[in-house]
Structure formats: structure tokens, C-alpha cells
Amino acid sequence: MKYRIPPFLKKGSLIGITATARKVSPEELAPAIKALQAKGFRVLPGIHLYASDHQYGGTDEQRQESLQALLDHPEVEAILCARGGYGTMRILSGLNFEGLKTFPKWVVGFSDITCLHAAILQQEMSSIHGPMAFSFDQNRTDGESKKRLIQVLKGDILPVEYRHIPLPPIKRDGVAEGGVIGGNLSILNQLSGTPWQPNPKGKILFLEDLDEYLYHLDRMMIHLKSAGWFDGLAGMVIGHFSDMKDNPIPFGRNAYEIIADAIRPYDFPVAWHFPAGHQKNNYPLLIGGHYQLKVVGHRVELVYLG
């Protein structure tokens, strides 16, 4: 199916910023606000943007109220999530998406925001997996990724072309076409069996993760495999798997070998080391966007088709 694409932004468009998970400070968000305003956008801080409740950006009620107000706002054309961490899933069930459908807008984020992307997919709308406001600090995200995010918001969605190293014997050349789903592997596992679990049939599944034990990564991949997530996939895009951890007795395989082992029985094309996830290069992807994935030898091309 084709998902609804919100209107792209123009000079003077209003971008809201809200913290759905971990708390942030004005100093941490100053680079993002400055950069967005320099690009000609107006910025609207969420009503509880700098609230604090232990590690969260306010209580569940505050974080939900702040996001809901931006979803319902008739002038807001994009919502930039402040940062990830943990907490977005705690507020999902209380959200009402009628305002989003009445006043369509882009929702941008990654990591913990994966569950919000999945909930928006259930509304048959597209969103953006990409850098968050916290990421605009030059030490967290490279200039190309931030540049591409602004371009995507304005409707200029460039192809991503790069060279990867296929993992033998999972060298999967081929061409796939379909809507992109996915995001953070840990969050996707938590979505299984919930109302927000995406339908993977005919889709291109994107996966990335951070700071997980290798045995846990293996367990998550086996879970997705057993739950049928890989059955009928059009293709798979593997992003960064950063800062993986091991036990004193080594697990014996790295993150990419674990993934390769889980998808061994399937024949869809696979792109490895896609520049997205918890590293400086975090290129934006339209969740729900219709893409063509082409893998030929060491060459990968991902093209947005509309």
C-alpha cells in the first residue's frame, strides 16, 4: 500500500520540538533551533519541552500533552523529536492521531522514536527516521546527514549510493521495491504483538541498534524470524549496530554475523552498513516511503520513488 505523504516544508514553515522520551536542556537544543531558524523555518517549543521527571522529559502526562498539542496544531508542519533514550512507548496508547490526519505533518526521530513511527504507519501516513534536535550538535551528527534531513523536509529526497561489504555466504544481489519500515531492532521486538506492529509483507525492513549484548541481539533476531517478520519481505537494509557488548565467555559472532545467520533461509536482497543509526552519519529515511533498493556486488543504491 502507499502511505500518505505530508506536505513538504517551505520558508516560514513551523516546526515543533517535543521530548517524548529522555529529558533535554535548552543548551542541548540550542544548535538545532539556531540551525532551523537559519534555514528560514519558525520553531515552536513544546509546552513541556524542558520538563524533567527523573530521566524522562517530564511525566508521562506532560510528554503526552506536549506531543498531542503539536499533533493537533493546525500550523505545525513538522515535529522534531528532541532525543531518544526511553519513554515514547509509555505514551503511545494515550495519543489521538485525528489531528495528525486533519493537519498532516512530518514526525522526525530515530531510536526510541521507532515506536512512534510504527504508530503513525497505522494511520497510513509516512514519517522520517532521521536526526533529532539533540543530534544537531556537531559532535553527534555529521553535516551531510543534517543537510539531507533539511532537504527531505523540503521534498528534495536524494538517492543514497555507497559501497558495502557483503557477508558471505549472505551475498544477496537483487532489486527490491516497497515501503520502508523498521528502525531500532530493540523497539521493533517490543512492538511485536501490540497494535503498532507493522506488517512486513512486501516491505523493505530497515534495522539498526546500539549498546546491546550480542546474545540479546541473537535472541531478538530469532524472535523476529519466529514471529514471521522476514516472511515475504521485499528486501532488508542493515544500518549501524554500534557499541555491541559481549560476555566474559565470548558469543562467537559479531552483530552482522548474527543477523546473517538469522536471514540465511531467505532470498531477498540485503544492503549492509547503510549510513543510518547511532553514529554520526545518520541519513534520513522515509518510514512508509516507497523505495527501490538495488544491490549489485559491492554497490548499493536506495532510491525514493514517491
| pLDDT per position as a tens digit, 40-73 | 999 999 999 999 999 999 999 999 999 999 999 9
- Range in 26-30, 165-169, 266-270 the model is least confident about: 165-169
**Axis crossing angle, helix 255-262 with helix 214-226, rounded to the nearest 10:** 20
Q: What DSSP line would sit under the chain, residue for residue?
A: -PPBPPPPP-TT-EEEEE-SSB---HHHHHHHHHHHHHTT-EEEE-TTTT--BTTBSS-HHHHHHHHHHHHH-SSEEEEEE---SS-THHHHTT---HHHHHS--EEEE-GGGHHHHHHHHTTTB-EEE---GGGGSTTTS-HHHHHHHHHHHTT----EEEE---BTTB---EEEEEEEEEEEHHHHHHHTTSTT----TT-EEEEEEES-BHHHHHHHHHHHHHTTTTTT-SEEEEEEEES-B--SS--SS-HHHHHHHHTTT--S-EE-S-S-SSSS----EEET-EEEEEEETTEEEEEE--
| pLDDT per position as a tens digit, 165-212 | 998 778 889 999 999 999 999 999 999 999 999 999 999 999 999 999
Residue 183's closest CA among 88, 98, 269, 97?
Answer: 88
- Set of cell numbers at residue 95: 495519543
- For residue 171, the model assigns a pLDDT of 84
Express as a percent the part of the chain with pLDDT over 70: 100
242 forms bridges with which residues in the sheet? 210
Question: What mean pLDDT value characterizes the chain?
Answer: 97
- DSSP-derived 3-state class of residue 41: coil
Residue 209's closest CA among 289, 90, 114?
Answer: 114
- For residue 139, the model assigns a pLDDT of 87
- For residue 163, the model assigns a pLDDT of 97
| pLDDT per position as a tens digit, 72-131 | 999 999 999 999 999 999 999 999 999 999 999 999 999 999 999 999 999 999 999 999
Over residues 28-50, mean pLDDT? 98
Q: Are 98 and 126 in contact (CB under 8 A)?
A: no
The whole-model pTM stands at 0.97
- DSSP-derived 3-state class of residue 69: helix
In angstroms, the CA 284 to CA 146 distance is 9
- For residue 169, the model assigns a pLDDT of 77
Q: What domains can be seen in the chain, in order of their start residue?
A: 14-153 (3.40.50.10740), 160-304 (3.50.30.60)
- For residue 247, is pLDDT > 90? yes
Measured CA angle at 48 (ends 136, 121), to 5 deg: 65
